[in-house]
């Protein structure tokens, strides 16, 4: 995986004003001498077309917009991030909800490795629940077939509690401050403004950097606060290359699984 580096994210907000213009209807009615309503001689005014949306980042460079987006996104209390890319040369996908207290919950799937659910609870305990392919690919070399079948029976549908000494690396997975290290270690360097776009029905400003066959594109919300909506990397050889962000500031509460549905790995270690 890509080595994590700290990326400072700086705080800001962007307010977009959109003006709407509505047309006026016809004037009131008059009556003729015979008592019948007479039509107004004045022509009906047609509603004017709405003005195009104002430029949300007028006067700002691509680098300045990116800094505002990094800052605003860092200030979130929670978010959801999903995406895909390569891990050890194999296709992987992920979908996680985070909060800024270090709790998260989500799934990670890798070709040939199966799927694992990860849960770092609000009580700072770490749990993993994998499918059969995940356990076979991770434990197949450590256990003989009979032992592996027995373990799979024990693990099926249950959460495995991870010991503290083994949970540190997984803990960084749920660190919102480290999240953007996986996107781009150069952050704002050399960015230029690209074409307007939409992400999930929301207007976005694109910020692009190219270097030969490689490129990275940031999609920054053009309405409301300037959060990152999407980040796309091309020609990346390792690590996530497509991120989508959403559910900003939606509360993320991660409870511990029911005790009767948890295997404590320390019991296996002590028994050995």
Cα gap 246→80, rounded to integer Å: 5
- In the chain, the number of structural domains is 1
pLDDT of residue 211: 85
pLDDT of residue 209: 92
pLDDT of residue 218: 93
pLDDT of residue 219: 96
pLDDT of residue 6: 23
pLDDT of residue 225: 94
Q: Which of 179, 25, 217 lies closest to 102 in space, CA to CA?
A: 179
The answer to whether the CB of 233 falls within 8 A of the CB of 215 is yes
19 is a domain residue: no
241 is a domain residue: yes
37 is a domain residue: no
178 is a domain residue: yes
Tokens 């907000």, located at residue: 13
**Which tokens go with 253?**
């509460």
3 is a domain residue: no
pLDDT of residue 16: 20
Q: What is the CATH number of the domain that holds 132?
A: 2.50.20.20
pLDDT of residue 174: 78
pLDDT of residue 62: 94
Q: What is the pTM of this model?
A: 0.72
pLDDT of residue 176: 79
| Cα dihedral 239/244/249/250 (nearest 10) | -110
Q: How much is the CA Rg of the chain, to the nearest whole Å?
A: 27
23 is a domain residue: no
The answer to whether the CB of 120 falls within 8 A of the CB of 102 is yes
pLDDT of residue 28: 40
Q: Which of 167, 171, 161 lies closest to 103 in space, CA to CA?
A: 171
135 is a domain residue: yes
pLDDT of residue 263: 86
**Which tokens go with 83?**
């995406």
pLDDT of residue 177: 73
pLDDT of residue 138: 81
pLDDT of residue 47: 53
Containing structural domain, residue 77: 62-257
pLDDT of residue 188: 78
Cα gap 75→72, rounded to integer Å: 5
For residue 50, with 0-12 CB atoms within 10 Å meaning exposed, 13-18 middle and 19 or more buried, which class applies? exposed
6 is a domain residue: no
Full pLDDT tens readout for the chain, 272 residues: 332 222 222 111 112 222 221 233 333 444 444 444 434 444 445 555 555 556 778 889 999 999 999 889 888 999 999 988 887 778 889 999 999 888 999 998 989 889 999 999 988 889 999 999 988 888 777 778 888 888 888 888 899 888 777 777 666 777 877 776 655 556 778 899 999 999 999 999 999 998 888 888 999 999 999 999 999 888 755 655 888 999 999 999 999 999 999 987 666 555 44
SS (H, E, C) 163-205: CHHHHHHHHHHCCHHHHHHHCCCCCCCCCEECCCEEECCEEEE
**Which tokens go with 199?**
């992400």
């Amino acid at each position: 995986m890509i080595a994590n580096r700290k990326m400072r994210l700086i705080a800001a907000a962007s307010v977009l004003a959109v003006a709407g213009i509505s047309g006026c209807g016809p004037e009131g009615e008059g009556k003729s001498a015979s008592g019948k309503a007479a039509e107004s001689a004045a022509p009906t005014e047609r509603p004017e077309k709405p003005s195009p949306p104002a430029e949300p980042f007028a006067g700002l460079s691509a680098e300045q917009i990116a800094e505002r987006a990094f800052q605003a996104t860092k200030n979130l209390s929670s978010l959801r991030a999903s995406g895909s890319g390569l891990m050890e040369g194999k296709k992987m996908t992920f979908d996680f909800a985070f909060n800024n207290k270090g709790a998260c919950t989500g799934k990670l799937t890798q070709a040939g490795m199966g799927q694992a659910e990860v849960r770092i609870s609000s009580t700072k305990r770490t749990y993993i629940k994998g499918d059969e392919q995940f356990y076979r690919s991770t434990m197949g070399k450590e256990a003989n077939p009979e032992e592996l079948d027995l373990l799979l029976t024990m693990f099926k549908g249950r959460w495995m509690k991870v010991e503290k000494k083994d949970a540190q690396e997984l803990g960084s997975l749920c660190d919102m401050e480290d999240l953007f290290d996986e996107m781009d270690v150069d952050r704002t360097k050399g960015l230029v403004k690209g074409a307007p776009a939409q992400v999930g029905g929301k207007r976005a400003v694109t910020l692009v950097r190219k270097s030969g066959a490689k490129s990275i594109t940031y999609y920054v919300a053009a309405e409301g606060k300037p959060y990152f909506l999407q980040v796309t990397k091309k020609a990346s050889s390792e690590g996530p290359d497509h991120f989508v962000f959403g559910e900003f500031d939606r509360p993320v509460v991660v409870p511990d699984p029911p005790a009767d549905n948890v295997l404590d790995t320390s019991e296996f270690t002590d028994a050995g």
